[in-house]
Structure 1
C-alpha cells in the first residue's frame, strides 16, 4: 500500500514527455533561428515562438497548480497538473489551439488554459489571491527573461532574427500578463481580488465569469481600446529596452506566409 502510493505520488510530479518534446522543439528551432540553419528563417521563427509560447502556457498553469498544492489542494497532482502536460489543462482546443491561433491572427497573448482548483480546500484569503496571481506572474518572469539581452545591453553577437523573435515573444508575454491581471470575472485578475469581495458581490458577478475572456477580447476589437492597450504594451517593452521596430519585425518574421517587409532584413 505504502509503496504503491509512493510510486503514484512520484508519477504525479514527473514531467510529461509531451512537455519535454515541446521544449525540444523550442530548443532546436531556437538554434536554427540563431544559426540561420533553416532554409526559411520565418518558418523557424514561427516554430520557435509558437513552441516557446506553449511552454509559457504550461508554466503559467503549473504555477497555479503548484501554488494551490502548497495552499492545501492536494488533488492537483492526481489531475495531472504537476506534469506540465498541456493536454491536462482543460480542453486542448480552448487551452492550446485557440491561444496559438490568436497569436497567429493578432499577435496577442491570449490567456488559454485553466486548472480546476478545489477552493474549499484552501484556507485564507491571501492564499486564494496568490494562487490566482501565480500564473500571470510567470508570464511577467518569462517576459523579463526574454528581454534580458535588451535591458542588459547584451545584444552584441545576437543575430537579428533571434533578436526579433525574442522581442515578439516578449510582446506576447506582456500582453498575456496584462490581460490576465484585468479584474474581470473569469480572469486571474478577478481571482486575485475575489476573496476580498463580499459574498453578495461574488454571487452577482458569478454569471459573467464564463464570458469574461470573450468580453475582454471583444473590447480589444474597438480601435480606441486597442490603441490604448498596445500603447501601454509598447511603453512597457520600451522600458525593458525593446523597441517598436524589433517587435514589429518579430511579428513580421513570425508570419512567414506573408510577404516579408524589406525593412526587417536578417542578413
Structure 2
C-alpha cells in the first residue's frame, strides 16, 4: 500500500513538473529581454520581436494553466493526466488555436487573440461559481500580466529604462489588455460567455451551444469594420492610458516589433 502511495505521488509530481518546452520559451524571453535592455543585439527590432513573441507565448501558457489549475481545485482531476499543468503548449487540445493563431495575429496586426484549448471535464465540477471561476481564471491572468508590464509606467519608475524596452513593454501591455477585453466578451466560445453560462437556463444553453465555434469568428468579422475597430482600440488605449502608457509608446512598440517594415520616424529606440 505504501509503495502504491509512493508511485501515485511520483506520478502527481510528473504531471505538474514544468515542461522543458516552457522553460525554453521562458529562457528566450529572458535572454532577448536582456538584449533589448542592454542594446546588445545588432538589430533592436529583431530583439524586440523575439522578446515580445516569447513573452506573449508565456502569457498564453499561463492563461491556459490558470484554467486548468482552477479546474483541478474545483474537482476535475483529469487535467493533470492531460499535461495541462506542465505549462507545455504542445499539450493543449488545439495548439493551433492556443499558440499558432494568436502569434500570427500579433505579427499581422498587433492584436491579442484569445486562445482557449484546454478541455475541462465540466461534469466533474459542482457549483455554478466554480464553473464561472474556471472561465474567468484565464483572462484574469492577462489582466495580471498587463498590470505587471505597466508597473514601471503607473509607478513612475521609468528612469533608467531604455527606450526600446519601454516601447516593448507598452506593446506587450497592449496585447494583454486587448486579449483580456476580447476574452471577457459574453460571446459563445469565449471565456466571457463561460462565466455567465452556468447561470443561464438549460434551454438557453442548449440553443446557444451550436454557436460556440463561430463566436470568435464573428468578433473578428466585426473588428474588420473600421468604426468597430476604432472603438475597440479606443477602449484599449483608454485603459492603457489609465495605467500610464501612452498610445505613442504602445504603437512605437508595435513599429519596433514589426522590424521588417519601415518604422515611423518619430519612433526611435535610442
Which TM-score band applies after superposition, normalised by the shorter structure? over 0.9
Q: 2:150 matched to 1:131?
A: no
Q: Please list, as runs of the form range in 1=range in 2, the aligned pairs for 1:37-48 lying within 5 A after superposition.
A: 37-48=40-51
Aligned to 1:83: 86
> In structure 2, what is the Cα distance between the partners aligned to 1:194 and 1:176?
20
Q: 2:175 matched to 1:172?
A: yes
Residues 136 and 180, structure 1, Cα contact 8 Å, conserved in 2: yes
> In structure 2, what is the Cα distance between the partners aligned to 1:37 and 1:150?
24
Residues 97 and 117, structure 2, Cα contact 8 Å, conserved in 1: no
> In structure 2, what is the Cα distance between the partners aligned to 1:238 and 1:250?
15
Report deviation, 1:217: 1.1
Q: Please list, as runs of the form range in 1=range in 2, the aligned pairs for 1:109-148 lying within 5 A after superposition.
A: 109-148=112-151
Correspondent of 1:69 among 69, 72, 87: 72
> In structure 2, what is the Cα distance between the partners aligned to 1:142 and 1:94?
20
Deviations 1:96-150 (A, max 9, x none): 1111000011111001232100000111000000000000000000000000000
Counterpart secondary structure, 1:73: coil
Q: Which runs of 5+ in 1 are unaligned?
A: none
Aligned to 1:201: 204
Aligned to 1:216: 219
Correspondent of 2:266 among 257, 263, 266: 263
Normalized against structure 1, the TM-score is what?
A: 0.99
> In structure 1, what is the Cα distance between the partners aligned to 2:67 and 2:142?
12
Aligned to 1:25: 28
CA RMSD of aligned residues (A): 0.7
Q: Please list, as runs of the form range in 1=range in 2, the aligned pairs for 1:97-112 lying within 5 A after superposition.
A: 97-112=100-115
> In structure 2, what is the Cα distance between the partners aligned to 1:192 and 1:131?
8
> In structure 1, what is the Cα distance between the partners aligned to 2:13 and 2:104?
34
User: After alignment, is 217-226 or 137-146 more displaced?
Assistant: 217-226
Structure 1 residue ranges (4+ consecutive) displaced by more than 6 angstroms after TM superposition: none
Aligned to 1:10: 13
Counterpart secondary structure, 2:78: coil
Deviations 1:149-183 (A, max 9, x none): 00000000000000000000000000000000000
> In structure 2, what is the Cα distance between the partners aligned to 1:77 and 1:232?
37
Q: 2:249 matched to 1:246?
A: yes
Report deviation, 1:5: 1.8
> In structure 2, what is the Cα distance between the partners aligned to 1:190 and 1:133?
10
Residues 95 and 117, structure 2, Cα contact 8 Å, conserved in 1: no
Residues 96 and 113, structure 1, Cα contact 8 Å, conserved in 2: no
Counterpart secondary structure, 1:242: coil
